[in-house]
Each structure stands twice: as structure tokens, then as C-alpha cells.
Amino acid sequence: LSPPSPAKMRTKMQLAGVVMASTLALSSCFLAPVQLRLPSSSAQLHVAAAREHVLGRQSTLAGWKCSLQDTSTERVQIGTLDVSCMGMGTLNWPLNKQVDADAEASMRACIESGIDLFDTAEAYGFGTSEKLTRSCIDAVGAKSAKVATKFAPVPWRQDASDVVNACKASAERLGVESIDLYQIHWPDILQPFKAFGLERKKDEVYWDGIAQCYDQGLIQNVGVSNYGPEILARAHAALKARGVPIVSNQINFSLLCRKQNNQATVDLCKELGVVPIGYFPLANGLLAGKYSAEKMPKGLKANSMKKYIVGGLDKRSGTEIPAGGVSPLISAMREVGDAQGKTVAQVAINYAISKGVVPIPGCRDASMARDNAGAMGWRLSSDEIAKLEAASDALGFEFVQPGPKLE
């Protein structure tokens, strides 16, 4: 499918130009035809056997090996995947490089620290991030690495076959026959003509497409991302009826992002036997303990984060953030961390782990990866969690969730 020609658009439709431009840029990459051989018979047999294990597993928390106070193992079962109880997101890696020394060093540090789950997406650098992930795995010799990637539901993708073709393209960029975990990146919320009464939600179409990927052996596990309670329940029921389990749901989750349906989504995930994966466990760096009025983030990030650090009006939520921003919470986290011999960032990541979420903080280099890994091997106590949540609640504001609302 091709996007509509701008020359043929009516004057009114030009109002949607900004949205159109962004989705067109995405689709121009994602819809490119790709040649890829189907998985070999041995690969299909392996995936089929793994599926029998997943479908025979009851949707209970019994399979969760990484939970509050459990330090006997740092492993989690996500569908057929046995992975570390925290992973690493690749969004902080360069989006314009297929080879990068710092990215390789950060992956090596992760593997050496016991972290073997890496999350990427076709939307990161128009597929470049997937290629960079593959090159890092090869350079490091990370045979144990498990890779999760995501399908981008842009408006021009109209049919189930578009999901299958996108999956094949991701598999080729990742250099695999069968993707470990394939996720739908967000619900079908990009509706460029909604203002003109033209809207077509295609979530069911995408669920059909990802089920076809699963049935064809192109993927080993099915996941979703940015799904709130309502759409997660729908997707879970629809795919379960086809014998296809949803094994994970990736959402924004941190001490500063719990009340925008985040905790409610985690609770439903646990009820359904879906593992919640948490991006932004450091709230875009706010919970790393490194920012202050004297030390602000660099570049454009300073503009969007300043209000959380020193106070000011949050225009998105209409909330007036008091002077000092997150500093009272950081003080509480530092106190807890000092008692454990851990950094503020490690406390933030461990909070997610202790709540039954698999956090995937980003990192730019090996030192950051090693520091993140210090969140494993221990657990916050129930009293410490209560103290931190009380300090967060006392702020009177949250980190406004980027991206789709969890509904």
C-alpha cells in the first residue's frame, strides 16, 4: 500500500499534515519488500515444542521466578524464554549506526553481569537499531542473548500480511530465522484523519497478523507494548481463542509512573499470566540521582525535564510542580540505597524488579551497564517499598507518561 499523494489531498486534510509526515516517514521504511527464507524444519519443530510448553502452562504467578524478596534466582520465564530478571533497552544506542564500539561494550558488560535480554524495535532508527543489535551480538559473541523487537502499527499497514512482512524484515535485520519475542509496539492510535470523521482501528487485524507470524514459526513468543487494561484484556482473549499466548506487555513503569493506569496494568498482567516489562524505570533519568538545579540534563532534554527537577508548570497535565521537584523522593531513595550499599539508580531499577516487573533501562556505555546491573542480586524490603511509594505520593505529581495512554 502507498500513502495518499499530497497533491490529491483536499485543503481540509492538510491540517493533518504533521501527523501524516511522521507516519509517512515510518511507513516508507517499514513497507519495503524483503526477501527472507522461511524457518528451517528443525527451527519449526523447536518452536512447536516450545509452544506446547507455553500453552500447557497455567496462567498463574507460579512461573514467576523473580518477585518480591526472591533472590534465589535472577531468572524469569517469559513464554519459552528463560531470561535475566532485568534487561536492557537499546533506544539509547546510536540510531544512525550499524556498528558502534560503545554499544558493543555495553552489551558485553551486560552479558558479563548476567543480563541477557535486549529490547529493540523497527521504529528505532528505521530498523538500524535491529542491525546494530545483531552486530553487537556477533562482536561480543553473545550466544545467550535473547532479543525482543517490535512491530510499528503505522496507518499504512492495513492488513495482517503487513505484520508478516514486517516480521520477516525484522528477522532479516536481526539475522535470525525466528524472533525470540515479537511485540506490537502500541495500540492503533495513529489515526491521521480522525478529525474528519475517518477512523479505522486495526488492532484486530494486527492481532491476526502476529498470530500468523507465530503459526508460521517466524516468532517464538508474542508480546504487546503500551497496552492498558482494557485493550490488553481484549487482545489476550482474542489470541487465546486462537491458541496463541500473549507472554509479555511492555509499559512505562517506575516509582514516578504508577498511577496513570501503570500499576493497574501490572496487576492485570499478573492475573492473566502476562509478564510486564518496564521501560523508563529511571523515569528518563529523573530517578538516577544525577540531576539537580546545578547539574541539568544536556541539550533539548533539559527543556522537558527542568520542571521535574526544579519545579514549574507541567503543561501536559496542568500540574504545578513545587520547588525542588523530585528531590524529596531522591533523598528517600538515597537513604534506602545507602543502607543497602546501592546507588539511587540501582534502587529505582530494583523497585521495578521487586514489584514483579522486568525493567529494561537503557545504557550508552559499559560503565552505565555495569551500574544498572547492580540492581540485581538483592531486593527491597516491603517496608522500604512502602517508604519509597509514600515519598513518591507525597510529591503530588508524576512523570507524565510519554507515548500512548494506558487504556
The residues annotated with a catalytic role in the active site are 124
Q: Amino acid identity of 315?
A: K
CB atoms within 10 A of CB 51: 20
- The H-or-E segment that residue 84 falls in is strand 81-84
> Residue 342 — left, alpha, or beta (φ > 0 → left; ψ -120 to 50 → alpha)?
beta
**Beta-sheet strand order (sheet of 246-252):** 88-89, 117-119, 146-151, 181-184, 222-225, 246-252, 275-279, 358-359
3-state secondary structure 1-44: CCCCCHHHCCCHHHHHHHHHHHHHHHHHHHCCCCCCCCCCHHHH
Question: Rounded to an integer, what distance in angstroms lies between the CA atom of residue 312 and that of residue 321?
Answer: 5
Query: In a 3-state reduction of DSSP, which class is residue 48?
Result: helix
Q: Are 304 and 321 in contact (CB under 8 A)?
A: no
Nearest by Cα to 366 from 180, 124, 136, 143: 136
User: Which residue's C-alpha cell is 535475566?
Assistant: 84
d(CA 353, CA 208): 32
Which residue do the cell numbers 487465546 mark? 240
Phi, psi of 384 (to 5 degrees): -65, -40
Say if residues 314 and 307 touch (Cβ distance below 8 Å).
yes
Is 282 in contact with 345 (CB distance < 8 Å)?
yes
